[in-house]
Structure 1
Amino acid sequence: MAAYLNRTISMMSGDGPHNRPAVTTVLSDHRSGRTSIDNSPLQIFVKAKKKINDIFIEIEDYVKDTVEYIHEIEKNQQIITKEKIAQTEEFVNKVHGIKDVLCRDHMKVAFFGRTSNGKSSVINAMLREKILPSGIGHTTNCFLQVEGSTSEEPYLILEDSDKHCPVESVGQLAHALCKEKLNESQMVKVYWPKNRCLLLRDDVVFVDSPGVDVTPNLDEWIEKHCLDADVFVLVANAESTLMVTEKNFFHKVSMRLSKPNIFILNNRWDASASEPEFLDQVRKQHQERAIDFLVKELKVCTPKEAEERIFFISAKEVLQTRLAEQGQQTTTPLTDGFQNRYFEFQDFERKFEECISKSAVKTKFEQHSQRGKFIANELREILDSVYTDAIRFKEDKMFNKKELHDKINYTEQQLMIITQEMKQKIHHMVEDVEQRVSKALNEEIRRLSTLVDEFNLPFHPEPLVLNVYKKELHLHVETGLGSNLRARLSTALALNMEASQREMTERMDTLIPENKRNTSNIILPRRQPFEILYRLNCDNLCADFHEDLEFRFSYGITTLIQRYTGGGSGILALKNGRENPNSSLIPSTPTDIVDNRMLYASTGIDDWSLLSRLALMGAGSQGTMGCLLVAGFLFKTVGWRIIAVSGAIYSCLYFYERLTWTNKAKERSFKKQYVAHATKKLRMIVDLTSANCSHQVQQELSGTFARLCHLVDESTGDMDKTLKELESEIATLENASSRAKVLRNKASYLAHELELFEDAYLKIHN
C-alpha cells in the first residue's frame, strides 16, 4: 500500500500532460459516479422526504374529504357537534402548513470558525465548484446559503427580495474586499443547478458564515441561521488551536439546541508536511483538545463519537484536485501526505453524510410524523364517535320505524273492524228509527181529528176566505204533527244518537296518537243536538182536497139510500150519463162516512140493487110518477093518519136540520171532511216519512263516523309521513355511518403508514 501511495505521489508530481489522466484515475473518488447510486446516506433523507410528503398529500386529501363529510352531516347535530366541526376544520390549515414546511425541508449544514480558516474553501471542495469567494484574508462578508435549483442557470437572491441576480455578483456582494458590503447578519441565497452537484441534488443546503470573530452579534446569528441546522462544521486552523471565540459561539449554540451535531475540521493540515517530525504530536494535541471541547465542555457526544467527528484536512488541496479532475484548473504540485489528507476529507464527507442524513431525518420528520399521527388519531376518534352515534341513532330510528309500522297496520286493521261494526250499528239504528217514526206518525194520524179541532181560526164558507183558512189549517196540521213527533221522539233519538256518537268517538279515539287526542275536539267541534226534520208538507199533500158544504137532509130518501147502498156519486154519474151518452156509467161505492155523508169510489153497474134503481127513478124525469106510486102504496097500507104524523115529524126534522146548518155546522163538516182526506193522504206517506227520518239519522251517524275516520286517516297519514321521514333519516344515518367507518379506517391506515415511516426512517437510526 505504501509503495502504491509513493507511486501515486510520484505520478502526481510529474509535469507532462500524459500524467493528468493518471491523476484523474487515481484521485477520482467514489462520489464522482454517484449519479446511479441510490443507497448513499443522503438518499435516506431524500427517500424519507418523498415518503412523508406522499403520506401528507394523502392526509391533506383525507382531511378535505373528512371536512366535506362533516359539513354534509352538519345539520344532524345529534351525531356531530359544532366543537368537533370546528376542530376538524382546524386540521385543514395545520396539514397544509405541515405540507408546506415538508416541501421546504432540507438537510442544512452550517460552517463556522474564525476568519480565514477556510470555511468557503471547504464548501467549494465539497461542492466541487468554486462557488463561494475564497482566498487569503477576510473574504466572506455575510451569510451565504447554497442550495439546489431546478433551473439550468445559477442565480442568487438577496434577503427580503425575490429578484434573481446573476451568480457572478456573489463576489461583489459577499466578498469582504468589495466596496458594496452587506451586513454580516444578512443572508444571500445562492441557487446552484442540481445537475451540476450531487450534494445539492440530495437536498443538502450549505451555509457559510463571515467568521465568529468579526461580530459580537452571535445570538442574532444563532437565532436567524442556526436553529434549523442539522450539522455544524467548525473549521479550525490547524496551524493554531481552538480559540475562545470559537468555543463561546458553540457554547451558545449548545444552550439553544439539544446536543447539536458538530464536526471539527482542522484545515490547512498540509502545513504539517514542512515539519514531519512534529506531525504526530501536533495531531494528538489538536485531537485531545477537540475531544475535550466536544465531550467535557459542550457534552454533546461520547469520547468514541468525538473521535469520529475530528478530521485533519486541506480544503485548498482537495478543491484544486477536484477542479483539475473536471478540467477547470491545471494540476498543481502537491505536498507530502496529500493522499492521506485527501482520504481523510473523503472520510469526513462520508461520515458527514451519514450524520446529516440521520440528524435531518430525525429532526425534520419526527415531529411532523408525530403531528400527522396526532391529527389522524384525533380524526379517527371524531369519526369513531360519529360512527357510534350514527349506528345508535340508526338503531333507535329502526326501532321507532318498526313500532310505527306495526301501529299503522294495527290502526288499519282496527279501522276495518270498527267500520264494519259501526255500519251494522248504524243499520240497526236506522231500522229502529224508521219503525219508531212510522209507529209515532200512525198514532198521530189517528189523533188528527183532535189536532184539527184545536185549529180555531174563524171559518167562513166564502171561497176566498176558505182558501186562506185551508192554507192556515195545512200549516197548523204540519206544525202540530211535527211538534208532536219531536216531543215523542226527539229526546230518545237524541240520547241514542249521542250514545252512538260517543261510542264511535271512544272507539276511534284509541286509534289516534296521544299527542293528537287533545285536538280531536278541534277537528270534531261541538255541534247542536241532532234533531230530525219531519217534512210532511201538508200544503202540497192536501192540495187536491175539495170540501162539500151543501145542505143535505140526513133522513132524505137519497141520503138513506146512499147510506145503505151507495153514494150520490152514482146518481151524479147516471145524470152525467144521461147528459153525456158517450160517457160510461161508472158508479161509486162508499169508502167512508163523514157527517152522515158517504164518500164513494168507482165500482161496476152490476152492484146496484133494486132500491137503487127506484131511487134513481125517483130522482129522474119520472120522479113525480114514482113518488105518487109509492105514496098510493103506503096510503093503502098504513092509513093516512100515520102518514100525516110521519110526514109532520119528517118535516120537523128537515126544518130542524136546515135551521142548524150554520157556519159552525159547516166548519165541523169541513174539518171532518179534511180529517178524512188528510188521514188518507198522510197514511200514504208514512213509509216515506219514516224512511226520510231514518235517512237523516243515517246521514248524521255516517257523517260523524266519516269525520272520525278522516281524523284517523289524517293521523295515519301523519304516521306514514313520519315513517317516510324515518326511512329517509335511517338512510342518511346509514350512509353517514358507512362513510364514517371508511374514513375512520383510512385514519387508521394513515396512522399505520406514519408508524411504518418511523420504523423505516426514524427508529432504525436511533
Structure 2
Amino acid sequence: MSGSFYQPMDNPDHRGSGDAGPSKRSVGHGRNGNGRMSPNSPLKRFGQAKKSINDIFKDVQEFIKDADTFVEGIGSSGHMEGVTCQQKVREHREKVRSIMEVLARDHMKVVFFGRTSNGKSTTINAMLREKILPTGIGHTTNCFLQVEGSDTQEGYLLTEEEPDQPKSMESIKQLASALSNVKLKESSLIRILWPKTKCRLLREEVVLVDSPGIDVTPNLDLWIDKFCLDADVFVLVSNAESTLMQAEKKFFHKVSERLSNPNIFILLNRWDISVFEDDVEEVKQQHLDRNLEFLCDELKVMGHDEGLERVFFVSSREALASRLKEQGTPTPTGVMQEGFQERLFTFATFERVFEECISKSAVKTKFEQHTKRGKSITTELRVLMEDILKQSLQQHDQMVTVRREMADELDYMEKQLSLLTCEIKDKIKNIVEDVENKVAMTLKDEIRRLAILVDEFDRPFHVDQTSMDIYKQELHAHIESGLGRNVQSRCAVTLQTALETTQREMTERMSALLPEESQQQIHNVMPRRDFEVAYRLDCRNLCAEFQEDITFHFTLAPRNILRWMFGKRMVLPPRRFEDIPRPLPVNPQEPRHFVVPDEDNADLLMNMVSMAGSVGQKTALGGLIILGVVYKAVGWKVLAVSLCGYMGLYCFERVRWTTKAKERAFKAQYVDYAGSKLKLIVDLTSSNCSHQVQQELSSTFARLCNEADMTKERLKEEVKQKDITISQLSVISSKAKTYRNKADWLDKALDTFKEQFLTVLSN
C-alpha cells in the first residue's frame, strides 16, 4: 500500500460515519499525509501538562519541606508562641508526596471493550502499528492486557503473580490466549512493556488496555472497579455485522454509574464486509442511529453533535495490514477489499479525534484535581505563613516593648540603687556616730556612779592575800557585769529602735526598687534574731595592777595636815633622812620670831615640815625635836592639852580601824583606780559598740544589695534573652514573609497551569 490510501474521498457523505472529507475534517491536524504522528499532535499536550505540573509540584514539595522544617524549628526553639500548625504542615507534606507519586504514574489510559472476537486486539495492534497482542478467530484474549511504554530496547511482560519477574514476549500466547492450556484468570492483568522508540502513542504516555469479551463473564463490576475507574477513554469495538447488543449496553451503564460522563468511542469494526451489501447506506444509518440513541439518549453522556464525532465505521484488519506493509511486512491476499482507502481514512480520523479527546480528557481528569488540591495546599500554606508573619511581627513588637521596659527598669534600678547606697551609707555613718556618743555618755555616767555599783558588791572581806585575790576577781566580774548591764539597759531600747527603724527603712526602700516576685524574697534576707550590742569592758585585765593600801593611816598625821593645808603642792616624794638639809647656825644674840610663811615661801616650809615629819616617824628623836620646837613656840600647857587630844583622837581612829573600815577603804581605793582606768577605755568601748552597729547595718544592707544584684542579674539575663528572642522573631518574620511569597508564587504558577492547560480545554 502507498500513502495514497490516506487521501480523502471525493464524495464523503456523513462525518459521523467516518467518511468525512477535507472540508469537514483536516487530515493533517493529527497526522500527516502518511498517517504518522504530526509534531503538533494533541498527545504532546498531555506530556507538556504533565511535565509542567510535575515541575510545579516539585517546587511545592521542596517548599513544603522547607516550611515543615521552618515550622518545626519555631516550635522547638520556643522563641515564638501560638504556632500550632506543625501537624497541618506535615499533613500537607504527606498529601504532596502522594500527589507526586500519582503524577509519576499518571498517563493517558484507554480501555477497549466489546464482545468476543469483535477485533479489540486487532484494533490495538493497528494503533500500535505492530502486531503485539495475540489475535485470531473466536475467544482469543483471556485476560486484561495493558500495553505501556518502556525505556528498554526490547519488550517484555510482567504479571500480577510475579511482578518482579520479566518474561519474554513469546510467552504472551501461553499466558493471555484463551486457547492456551496455561492461562491466567479473566480478572488478571498482564503488563506489556513495549519500547517507546517503536511507538509514538506509548512515547506520549498513552496506555492501551485490551479486555476479554464482556459476553463471557458476569464479573463486570469487578472489571470496572479494577481497570476502568482511572480510564480516560473507553473504546467499544462492535461488530458491524450485528447491531448494538444488550451486553454492551449493560457494561457501559455500569461504567456510567461509577464515572461521570465517561468518554466513549464506538468502532463498528469489520466494515469491509459492506462491499458485499447493496443497501450499505441504509445499514450504516441504522447503525449510526442506534448508537447515537444509546450514547445521547440512553446514557446521556454527550450531545448529538458530539455523538457524531464518536461513531466510526472501520476495518481494523485492513488498517493493521496497511501499516504493517508500510514497515515491510507483506499484505495477505484478500485482506484489502474495495473502498479500503475510505476505511483507512476513517480509521486515521478516529485516531485523530481519539487523540484530541484522550489528551483533553486526560489533562482534565488527571491534572485538574491535582491542580485544585495543589492550590488548596498552597493557599492554606500561604495563610499559615501569613498568620506566622503577623504573629511574629506582633510578638516582635510586644517583645521590643517588654525589652525596652525591662531595660528602663534596670537602668532606673541601677541609678536608684546608687543613690540609695549613698544615702544609706550616710545614714549608717550618722547612726554609728550617735551610737558612739550615746554609749560614751552612758558609760561615763556609769563610771561616775561606780561607787554605787561597788557598794552593791557584797562578799566576805578578808585581809589575807588569797582571800583578797578572790575578792578582787569577783569584784572585777561584778563591775564588768554591772556596768555592761547598766549600759545595756540604758542604751538597748534606743539602739534597737534605731537599728530596727534603719533596717526597716532600708528594706522598704530596697523592696520598692525590686519587682513584685523579688519583694517577698527581700524580706527573707532580714535577720531573724534581735541584735544585741556586746560591751567588752574586761575589768580583770584592766584592773590587774590595782594594789590596795589597807594599812592604818592616822587622819591628823603631820603629812595629812600639811596636805590639807597646801593641797596638791604637798604631794612630794618621800626623802631619806640623810637627804634632810642641815639647818644653818643661828646667832644666839639675835631675837627669834615665828614668821608665817607667805605663799612664796610655802614650798620651803612644806619641805622642812615634811622632812621633819619623816624623821619623826622614823625615830623618837625626830618626835622630841618637833615637841621641842612646839614647846618653845606655845608653852607646855598648850602642848600637853594638844598632845592629849591628839593621842585620844589617834586611839579613837585606831580602834575603829576594823575589817569593815578596811573594806570601805579598799572599795574607795578601787573606785578611784577602776574609775581612772575605765575612763581610759570609754572611747574604745563606744567605738567598739558603734562598730558592731555599723557591722550589723552594713551586713543587712549588703544582703539587701546582694538580693538587688541578683535581681539585676536576672533582669540583665532576661534582657539578653529578650534580645535573642527579638533577633529570632526578626528571622522568623523574614522567613515567614519569604515562604508566604513563595506560596503565593506557587499559587500563581498553578493558576497559570490552569489557564494554559485546563481553561483552554473548557473553551
Per the normalisation by structure 1, the TM-score is 0.87
Say which of 736, 747, 754 aligns to 2:743: 747
Task: Determine the C-alpha separation between the residues in 2 that align with 1:482 and 1:324.
Answer: 138
Q: Using the TM superposition, name which of 629-638 and 304-313 deviates more.
A: 629-638
Say which of 379, 389, 411 aligns to 2:413: 411
Task: Determine the C-alpha separation between the residues in 1 that align with 2:133 and 2:523.
Answer: 98
3-state SS in 1 of match to 2:370? helix
Describe the superposition over 1:420-476 as per-residue Cα deviations: whole angstroms up to 9, x where unpaired: 111111111111122222212221111112221222212122111111111111111
3-state SS in 1 of match to 2:192? strand
2:311: which partner in 1?
310
1:609: which partner in 2?
604
Q: C-alpha displacement at 1:566, in angstroms?
A: 6.5
Task: Determine the C-alpha separation between the residues in 2 that align with 1:641 and 1:576.
Answer: 33
Task: Determine the C-alpha separation between the residues in 1 that align with 2:182 and 2:83.
Answer: 61
Indicate yes or no: 2:173 matched with 1:171.
yes
2:25: which partner in 1?
none
CA contact (8 A) 1:321 1:331 kept: no
* CA spacing shift, 1:432–1:696, aligned 2, 3 Å: same
Provide the alpha-carbon RMSD of the alignment: 3.1
Task: Determine the C-alpha separation between the residues in 2 that align with 1:255 and 1:614.
Answer: 159
* CA spacing shift, 1:5–1:518, aligned 2, 3 Å: closer
Q: C-alpha displacement at 1:362, in angstroms?
A: 0.6
Say which of 646, 649, 663 aligns to 2:645: 649
Letter in structure 1 aligned against 2:704: L
Say which of 460, 468, 478 aligns to 1:476: 478
Letter in structure 2 aligned against 1:141: N
3-state SS in 2 of match to 1:357? helix
2:222: which partner in 1?
220
Per the normalisation by structure 2, the TM-score is 0.87
How does 1:653-668 map onto structure 2 within 5 Å? 653-668=649-664
Q: C-alpha displacement at 1:207, in angstroms?
A: 0.9
Say which of 660, 682, 697 aligns to 1:701: 697
3-state SS in 2 of match to 1:139? coil
1:366: which partner in 2?
368
2:241: which partner in 1?
239
1:287: which partner in 2?
288
3-state SS in 2 of match to 1:74? helix
2:12: which partner in 1?
none
Indicate yes or no: 2:518 matched with 1:523.
no
Letter in structure 2 aligned against 1:722: E
Describe the superposition over 1:540-591 as per-residue Cα deviations: whole angstroms up to 9, x where unpaired: 111111112222222222333455376998454657999xxxxxxxxxxxxx
Task: Determine the C-alpha separation between the residues in 2 that align with 1:309 and 1:643.
Answer: 181
Q: C-alpha displacement at 1:46, in angstroms?
A: 1.0
Letter in structure 2 aligned against 1:764: V
CA contact (8 A) 1:74 1:80 kept: no
Task: Determine the C-alpha separation between the residues in 2 that align with 1:293 and 1:203.
Answer: 30
CA contact (8 A) 2:8 2:345 kept: no
Q: C-alpha displacement at 1:249, in angstroms?
A: 2.2
Q: C-alpha displacement at 1:287, in angstroms?
A: 2.9
1:636: which partner in 2?
632
CA contact (8 A) 1:571 1:616 kept: no
Q: C-alpha displacement at 1:71, in angstroms?
A: 2.7
Describe the superposition over 1:218-267 as per-residue Cα deviations: whole angstroms up to 9, x where unpaired: 22322222221111112222333333332332233223222211112222
Task: Determine the C-alpha separation between the residues in 2 that align with 1:577 and 1:438.
Answer: 47
Q: C-alpha displacement at 1:510, in angstroms?
A: 0.8
Indicate yes or no: 2:308 matched with 1:301.
no
1:348: which partner in 2?
350
2:183: which partner in 1?
181
Q: C-alpha displacement at 1:366, in angstroms?
A: 1.0
How does 1:419-438 map onto structure 2 within 5 Å? 419-438=421-440
Q: C-alpha displacement at 1:618, in angstroms?
A: 5.6
* CA spacing shift, 1:185–1:630, aligned 2, 3 Å: closer
Q: Using the TM superposition, name which of 626-635 and 357-366 deviates more.
A: 626-635
Task: Determine the C-alpha separation between the residues in 1 that align with 2:40 and 2:666.
Answer: 139
CA contact (8 A) 1:477 1:538 kept: yes
How does 1:27-66 map onto structure 2 within 5 Å? 30=32, 39-66=40-67
Q: C-alpha displacement at 1:205, in angstroms?
A: 0.6
CA contact (8 A) 2:6 2:341 kept: no
CA contact (8 A) 1:41 1:353 kept: yes
Letter in structure 1 aligned against 2:156: Y
3-state SS in 2 of match to 1:146? strand
Task: Determine the C-alpha separation between the residues in 2 that align with 1:29 and 1:728.
Answer: 67
* CA spacing shift, 1:532–1:573, aligned 2, 3 Å: farther
Q: Using the TM superposition, name which of 560-569 and 203-212 deviates more.
A: 560-569
Task: Determine the C-alpha separation between the residues in 2 that align with 1:101 and 1:272.
Answer: 45
1:670: which partner in 2?
666
Letter in structure 2 aligned against 1:336: E
CA contact (8 A) 1:618 1:624 kept: no
CA contact (8 A) 1:133 1:175 kept: yes
CA contact (8 A) 1:433 1:694 kept: yes
Task: Determine the C-alpha separation between the residues in 1 that align with 2:464 and 2:101.
Answer: 121
Instruction: Figure out how many residues of one structure are paired with residues of the other and give that number.
Output: 716
* CA spacing shift, 1:615–1:185, aligned 2, 3 Å: closer
CA contact (8 A) 1:376 1:750 kept: yes
2:614: which partner in 1?
619
* CA spacing shift, 1:38–1:642, aligned 2, 3 Å: farther
Q: C-alpha displacement at 1:175, in angstroms?
A: 2.0
Task: In structure 1, list runs of 5 or more residues that go unmatched.
Answer: 10-25, 579-605
* CA spacing shift, 1:735–1:695, aligned 2, 3 Å: same
Task: Determine the C-alpha separation between the residues in 2 that align with 1:8 and 1:505.
Answer: 111
Q: C-alpha displacement at 1:356, in angstroms?
A: 0.2
Letter in structure 1 aligned against 2:607: S
Task: Determine the C-alpha separation between the residues in 2 that align with 1:728 and 1:211.
Answer: 73
Task: Determine the C-alpha separation between the residues in 1 that align with 2:659 and 2:529.
Answer: 50
Q: C-alpha displacement at 1:501, in angstroms?
A: 1.9
Q: C-alpha displacement at 1:703, in angstroms?
A: 2.0
Task: Determine the C-alpha separation between the residues in 2 that align with 1:647 and 1:171.
Answer: 177
CA contact (8 A) 1:411 1:511 kept: yes
1:154: which partner in 2?
155
* CA spacing shift, 1:260–1:664, aligned 2, 3 Å: same
Letter in structure 1 aligned against 2:288: Q
1:687: which partner in 2?
683
CA contact (8 A) 2:110 2:209 kept: yes
Letter in structure 2 aligned against 1:132: L
Task: Determine the C-alpha separation between the residues in 1 that align with 2:497 and 2:125.
Answer: 117
Q: C-alpha displacement at 1:488, in angstroms?
A: 1.8
* Percent identical: 49
* CA spacing shift, 1:376–1:669, aligned 2, 3 Å: same
Describe the superposition over 1:8-28 as per-residue Cα deviations: whole angstroms up to 9, x where unpaired: 99xxxxxxxxxxxxxxxx9x9
1:21: which partner in 2?
none
Describe the superposition over 1:379-408 as per-residue Cα deviations: whole angstroms up to 9, x where unpaired: 333333333333333333322222222111
2:588: which partner in 1?
none
Describe the superposition over 1:50-87 as per-residue Cα deviations: whole angstroms up to 9, x where unpaired: 222222222223333333333323354974466x4333
Q: C-alpha displacement at 1:748, in angstroms?
A: 2.4
Q: Using the TM superposition, name which of 296-305 and 734-743 deviates more.
A: 734-743
Describe the superposition over 1:618-645 as per-residue Cα deviations: whole angstroms up to 9, x where unpaired: 6359966665554444333322222122
CA contact (8 A) 1:552 1:559 kept: no
Indicate yes or no: 2:695 matched with 1:711.
no
Say which of 467, 470, 478 aligns to 2:469: 467
3-state SS in 1 of match to 2:536? coil
Task: Determine the C-alpha separation between the residues in 2 that align with 1:720 and 1:99.
Answer: 51
1:95: which partner in 2?
96
Indicate yes or no: 2:377 matched with 1:382.
no
* CA spacing shift, 1:633–1:78, aligned 2, 3 Å: closer
* CA spacing shift, 1:441–1:463, aligned 2, 3 Å: same
1:759: which partner in 2?
755
Indicate yes or no: 2:104 matched with 1:108.
no
